[in-house]
Amino acid sequence: MRKYVKRFASFFLIPLVQWYLRKERHYTYKGIEVSVMPGVFHPGFFYSTKFLLSYLDGIPLANKTLLELGCGTGLISIVAAKAGAIVTASDLSKTAVANTKHNAEKNGVNIHVCHSDLLDQIKGQFDFIVINPPYYPKDVTDETTLAWNCGKNFEYFQKLFKQLPGHIHATSNVIMVLTKGCDVASIFSIAKGLGFRFDLIKETNVLFDEKDYLFEIHPD
C-alpha cells in the first residue's frame, strides 16, 4: 500500500505542489504569517519544519544563540527569535535569504540573515544549530533543487561534518530532521567517518515518507 501511495505522490501530488508554488504564497503557524517565494521550501506542505518546531517549542531559548542552517522562509528562525533567542539564519539560495529577511521584518524580529554555502560565511559557535537538510543524492541543477539535492556523493553532508567542529562547544545542541525515504545509512556513515554520531530523539509517522526522524548530532 505504501508503494502505491508514494507513486501517487510522485506522479500527481508533487507536480501539483510544484505548480501551486510557482507564485508567492503565504503560510501561518501559531499566528506567525510568512510569505513563501517561488522556489523556496514551503513549511506547510512538508512535516519536517513542524517537527523541528515541535522540538524547539519545549526548550527555553531566551538569550541562547541559534543557527538555522538552510533557512528557507525563515519560519524556524522567527519562532526562535520571538522566544528570545539570538538568531542567525543562512541559506545558499539567494531567494531564500531575501525571503527570510522579508519575513523577519514582516514579523518584527531581529535576525542576522546571511548568504552562505553551509558554514562558509558563518562565524562563532552556537548553543543550537537546527538543520532541515537536502538529502537526495542528486546534483543541484538550479536554486529550486537546493532544498532537495545533496550532491551525487552526499557532498552536502561531507562538507557539513567537516565544518561543524568549528561552530559548536561542549554543550551545543545540533538538531537534524531526516526521513525514512532518504539514505540514512550513508548519511550516518559519512558522519561517523568525520567524528560524529546521530542520537534519535523522536520519530513520527508521515503519509508519504513513512517516518520522519529527529536526531541530536554529537561528536563521537
pLDDT for position 9: 46
- Using only C-alpha atoms, the chain has a radius of gyration, in whole angstroms, of 17
- Tell me the per-residue pLDDT of 86-95, one tens digit each, with 9 for 90 and over: 999 999 999 9
Q: Where are the beta strands (DSSP E) in the chain?
A: 25-29, 32-36, 65-69, 86-91, 112-115, 126-131, 168-179, 196-206, 210-219
- CATH number, domain at 52? 3.40.50.150
Which band of pLDDT confidence, cut at 50, 70 and 90, is reported for residue 217? Answer: very high
State the DSSP H helix or E strand holding residue 16, giving kind and residue range, or none if neither: helix 14-20
Which grid cell sits at 207? 503519509
Can you spell out the DSSP letters for 136-190? BSS---SGGGTTTB--TT-HHHHHHHHHGGGGEEEEEEEEEEEETTS-HHHHHHH
Sequence-separated (6 or more) residues with CB below 8 Å from residue 62: 83, 84, 85
- For the four alpha carbons of 162, 191, 136 and 155, in that order, the dihedral sign comes to positive
Please name the amino acid found at residue 124: G
- CB-hemisphere CA count at 13 Å for 95? 15
- Tell me the per-residue pLDDT of 148-203, one tens digit each, with 9 for 90 and over: 899 999 999 999 999 999 999 999 999 999 998 889 999 999 999 999 999 999 99
Domain count, the chain: 1
List the single range of 8-17, 19-28, 101-110, 116-125 with lowest mean pLDDT.
Answer: 8-17
Mean pLDDT value across residues 4-10 = 45
pLDDT for position 7: 46
CB-based burial label for 206 (10 Å; 0-12, 13-18, 19+)? middle
Which range of residues forms the domain containing residue 214?
A: 2-219
Residue listed under C-alpha cell 556513515: 189
DSSP state of 11: I
List the single range of 64-78, 106-120, 131-145 with lowest mean pLDDT.
Answer: 131-145
Q: What is the mean pLDDT of the chain?
A: 91
